[in-house]
Each structure stands twice: as C-alpha cells, then as structure tokens.
C-alpha cells in the first residue's frame, strides 16, 4: 500500500483536519485556503505524517497518518536520519 495521492489524499487530509486542528510539532493551526489546500497558520503547507514511521514498521494505513506542517515534518525526518 502506498501513500495516498490525488483525490484519496485530499479526502484523507480533509478528514484529518477535523481531528488535527493544529500541527503536533509547532501547534500552528491548520486552515483550508482559498484554493482548497490545507496550510498551517505559519505559512507552511500541511503534509501527511506517519505516526509510526515506516522505518519502524509503520504502515501506509489511514489510521497511521496525521497532519503535520512541512517544516516540522522535514525536521522530524532529519532528526530520524541523525539517530
């Protein structure tokens, strides 16, 4: 199973924004902009984050995703690479 994309990804992210009102990394609130994209108040676009990282057996299942702003997701990836 791969990371959802296209319409499926949009639907998943729309569902997640109802649960994840703000970024778990920096607490910046998410909102839907005029183009329908989900962005954080800090100007970063929202990304899908694996709650259990794939490197530790996390799956590309809907329950394993949450929203995270791109800056925090990249910082998390970097920290994981340095471990």
Contact residues toward Zn ion (CB under 5 A) are 23, 25-26, 69, 72
Structure tokens at 16: 């997640």
For the bound state, the minimum distance from the C-beta of residue 20 to Zn ion, rounded and expressed in Å, comes to: 11
- The residues near 64 (Cβ < 8 Å, ≥ 6 apart) are 50, 51, 52, 58
Cα distance between residue 6 and residue 79, in whole Å: 28
Name the residue nearer to Zn ion (CB basis): 4 or 25.
Answer: 25
Structure tokens at 59: 């799956």
For the bound state, the minimum distance from the C-beta of residue 1 to Zn ion, rounded and expressed in Å, comes to: 26
For the bound state, the minimum distance from the C-beta of residue 5 to Zn ion, rounded and expressed in Å, comes to: 22
Name the residue nearer to Zn ion (CB basis): 1 or 79.
Answer: 79
Structure tokens at 81: 């690479």
Name the residue nearer to Zn ion (CB basis): 10 or 70.
Answer: 70
């Amino acid at each position: 199973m791969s990371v959802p994309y296209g319409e499926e990804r949009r639907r998943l992210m729309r569902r997640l924004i109802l649960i994840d009102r703000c970024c778990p990394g920096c607490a910046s609130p998410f909102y839907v902009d005029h183009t329908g994209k989900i962005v954080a108040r800090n100007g970063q676009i929202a990304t899908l984050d694996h709650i259990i990282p794939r490197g530790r057996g996390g799956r590309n299942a809907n329950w394993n995703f949450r929203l995270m702003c791109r800056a925090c997701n990249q910082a998390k990836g970097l920290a994981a690479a340095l471990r």
